[in-house]
Structure 1
Amino acid sequence: MFNPIVTRPSLLLAGCSALVLTACSPAAEPPATSKAEESAHASEPMAMAQTPFSAAETRMHEAMMAATGADAGETWARKMIPHHQGALDMSQIVLRDTQDADIRRMAQKTVEMQTTDIAELRRWLETRVGAAAGAAAPGGGGEPPFAPAETKMKDAMMSATGANTDRMWASKMIAHHQGALEMSQVALRESQDAGIRRMAQKTIEMQTADIAEMRAWLAAHPVGGS
């Protein structure tokens, strides 16, 4: 029988060919989605920076996430202070830019109401907790009940846009107030403190009325309308 003789150079050639094929195989290429993912992540901060409200929104969300307390009532109070401050800051921005009489009225009302509410929350913390308002209590365990509402509010506010500053402010305030409403409902469910329950119920009533007013303004000022 004839036995083929395989020379050493032939073996080397075959090995090199295999290496070339392996190097050219799809498995050796980097994942096709990596560049797309990097591009998406890189574009997110740019999208935020394009709105006049981005800095105020970011400050508010970061401060709210960091605020905790010894129980649900205290946590709600600590989170509502930066929440209301965010609405105050954003309303001052729209007051600087808008020429619409109704937007100016709603924004001014928001500034006045949120300033009053912040002072009330700080008094409650100083009286009932004996701690400086805005300082997180160590080892606070009250954050988890509010996390879903906070996340929902953040996503809704960040995605709220408008053809101009007026519409953007109204859209973002609807999401902002809806977040306060839902977090206040959690506080009513979790807290037995009379002061917290009174402030939470007042927040629900006021924010519900404000949401209806802002939705009516948006409906009366459609994009492209006069």
Structure 2
Amino acid sequence: MTRPRLVLVAALPLLLTACDGGGDPVQQVLLETSSRNQSATVVEGAVSGPEDHSAHDSGAPAATPGAGDVAFAASEAEMHRQMSAASGATVEEAYVAKMIAHHEGAIAMAEVALRESRDPEVRRMAQGVVDAQTREIAEMRAWRPATAD
């Protein structure tokens, strides 16, 4: 039995919360969209509620990656490589360096969606990610430790 692939809209609120402290209207739109979509997670042509995790937890081997997975593989791998390489002498410096790499990865994935998706809502969300993450990268690059003169 192959393991069904899930559209990972259920995890989006957690990812967005980790990326931003809140208050950003783009993040709010993404959270609202995710909440709407979470109630109808698509599983290989069938619809299951968010409570249906039986296929995911069954221990069955992973399904062959689909075209969507393949489209994001390079940008995901690069993001993880960049995050692993990012460092800092303090927790604060390491956090900023790793978050810049994380946001650059988010922009790269959003650019894949903009290039390959024809869904207007996905394209709107992806453009929102590009705009918000670009702004946040600039803010993080401008950050200086409180002890700096």
Could you give the per-residue CA deviations for residues 193-226 of structure 1, whole angstroms, max 9, x where no partner exists? 1211111111111001001110111xx449x834
Q: Over the residues paired in the alignment, what is the CA RMSD in angstroms?
A: 3.4
* The structure with more helix, counted as a fraction of residues: 1
Deviation at 1:79, TM superposition (A): 7.3
Aligned pairs (5 A) from 1:67-216: 78=8, 81=11, 85-86=14-15, 88-89=17-18, 110-112=20-22, 113=24, 116=28, 117-126=30-39, 129=42, 130-132=47-49, 141=66, 142-216=68-142
- C-alpha distance in 1, partners of 2:85/2:124? 32
Give the length in aligned residue pairs. 128
For normalisation by structure 2, the TM-score amounts to 0.67
Give structure 1 stretches of 5+ with no counterpart.
1-67, 92-109
The 3 A distance-change label for structure 1 pair 167 and 147 is same
The amino acid that maps onto 1:202 is G
**2:10 & 2:104 partners in 1: Cα distance?**
13
Bigger radius of gyration, 1 or 2? 1
Give the CA deviation at 1:168.
1.3
Preserved contact between residue 122 and residue 133 of structure 1 (Cα < 8 Å) = no
* Deviation sequence 1:105-132 (CA, Å, 0-9, x none): xxxxx12159733442242354684544
| 1:111–1:225 distance in 2 versus 1, CA, 3 Å | closer
In the TM superposition, residue 133 of structure 1 has moved relative to its aligned partner by 5.4
Contact preservation (8 Å) 2:40, 2:50: no
**Offset of residue 185 of structure 1:** 0.8
User: Residue 111 of structure 1 aligns to a residue in which SS?
Assistant: coil
Amino acid at match of 2:119: D
2:119 matches 1:225: no
Q: 1:131 to 1:216 in 2, by over 3 A?
A: farther
The structure with the largest strand share of the pair is 2
Q: 1:131 to 1:206 in 2, by over 3 A?
A: farther
Q: Which amino acid aligns with 1:194?
A: P
- The percentage of counterpart residues that share the same residue type is 33
Q: TM-score, normalised by structure 1?
A: 0.47
Question: In structure 1, what is the Cα distance between the partners aligned to 2:40 and 2:69?
Answer: 21
Mapped partners of 2:84, 2:31: distance in 1: 23
